[in-house]
């Protein structure tokens, strides 16, 4: 019973911490969505205002897409996992979706998190991979920079992560970031478009925009994954707490039965001893 009470306290602590971190991460996700929207609007305005110059300097891609930075023509599958357990089923389910693409398409594997690495080595013992450390909560700018530097060279990046749909529903999902950016200026009013001056040059500004868009989209996927993990942990710990409570009640009943049995044994022994003396 003492062990169960200790586990009960531990599950409550984990659930409370997960709830607080989930709320903080949720605010980050929402604010980043606004930032991405505003950044995309400015990017479209710049490309619309300098449509002719932009088309001349772009590297043409298949399907009419454009990019301002070089890519290697390869596809990377990126698993955003975790460093520890107690995140419910969302992490192993995300890995299964990731492993399916590795098997079917033979893409290059990039793994984030020690738990995902252990899954990968077990299932693909002789398959190459690239591994990066990353915290389960918050962002380490140095680790994030190394990870983005590795991924930005790829033509297509498929990010596998846990997606927060509701407090009780987190599902594995894949988010695609591609160099095949369509020359899209939809939603831009040419008559009321803002005018810009560029320093040092238009080309360098566009390279910055594309890099910033990639970085922000990837950070958003990381934040979404963290949000889903902590929601999953909170629900898992709540369920564990209820299960421990049930086991604790069973243990209390068992203790009462044992106490009654011991009491009955003492009474029987007392009567037996009295009979012997008579």
Report domain 37-232's class.
alpha beta
Counting beta carbons within 10 angstroms of the beta carbon of residue 95, is it exposed (0 to 12), middle (13 to 18) or buried (19 or more)? buried
Closest CA to 130 of 119, 117, 141, 139: 117
What does the alpha-carbon distance between residue 41 and residue 44 come to, in Å, rounded to a whole number?
5
- The rounded mean pLDDT for the chain is 82
Cβ count near 92 (within 10 Å): 15
3-class state of residue 78 by DSSP: strand
pLDDT tens, residue by residue, 22-46: 888 887 787 777 787 787 777 777 7
What does the alpha-carbon distance between residue 236 and residue 19 come to, in Å, rounded to a whole number?
12
Break the chain into its structural domains and give their ranges.
37-232
pLDDT tens, residue by residue, 44-87: 777 666 665 666 555 544 444 556 666 788 899 999 999 988 88
0.85 exceeded by the pTM?
Answer: no
User: Given this model, what pLDDT does residue 57 score?
Assistant: 57
Closest CA to 112 of 89, 96, 90, 129: 129
């Amino acid at each position: 019973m003492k062990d169960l009470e200790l586990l009960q306290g531990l599950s409550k602590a984990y659930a409370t911490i997960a709830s607080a971190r989930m709320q903080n991460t949720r605010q980050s996700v929402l604010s980043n969505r606004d930032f991405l929207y505003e950044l995309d609007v400015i990017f479209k305005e710049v490309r619309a205002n300098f449509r002719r110059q932009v088309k001349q300097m772009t590297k043409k891609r298949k399907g009419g897409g454009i990019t301002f930075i070089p890519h290697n023509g390869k596809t990377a599958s990126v698993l955003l996992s975790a460093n520890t357990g107690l995140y419910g089923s969302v992490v192993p389910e995300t890995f299964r979706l990731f492993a399916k693409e590795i098997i079917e398409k033979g893409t290059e594997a990039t793994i984030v998190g020690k738990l995902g690495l252990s899954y990968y080595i077990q299932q693909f013992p002789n398959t190459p991979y690239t591994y990066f450390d990353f915290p389960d909560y918050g962002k380490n700018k140095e680790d994030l920079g190394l990870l983005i530097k590795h991924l930005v060279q790829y033509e297509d990046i498929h990010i596998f992560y846990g997606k927060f749909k509701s407090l009780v529903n987190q599902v594995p999902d894949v988010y695609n970031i591609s160099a095949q950016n369509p020359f899209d200026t939809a939603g831009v009013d040419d008559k009321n478009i803002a005018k810009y001056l560029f320093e040092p040059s238009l080309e360098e500004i566009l390279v910055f925009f594309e890099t910033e868009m990639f970085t922000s989209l990837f950070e958003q996927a990381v934040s979404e994954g963290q949000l889903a993990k902590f929601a999953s942990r909170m629900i898992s710990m709540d369920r564990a707490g209820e299960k421990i409570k049930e086991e604790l009640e069973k243990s209390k009943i068992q203790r009462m039965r044992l106490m009654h049995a011991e009491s009955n044994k003492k009474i029987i022994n007392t009567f037996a001893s009295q009979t012997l003396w008579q």
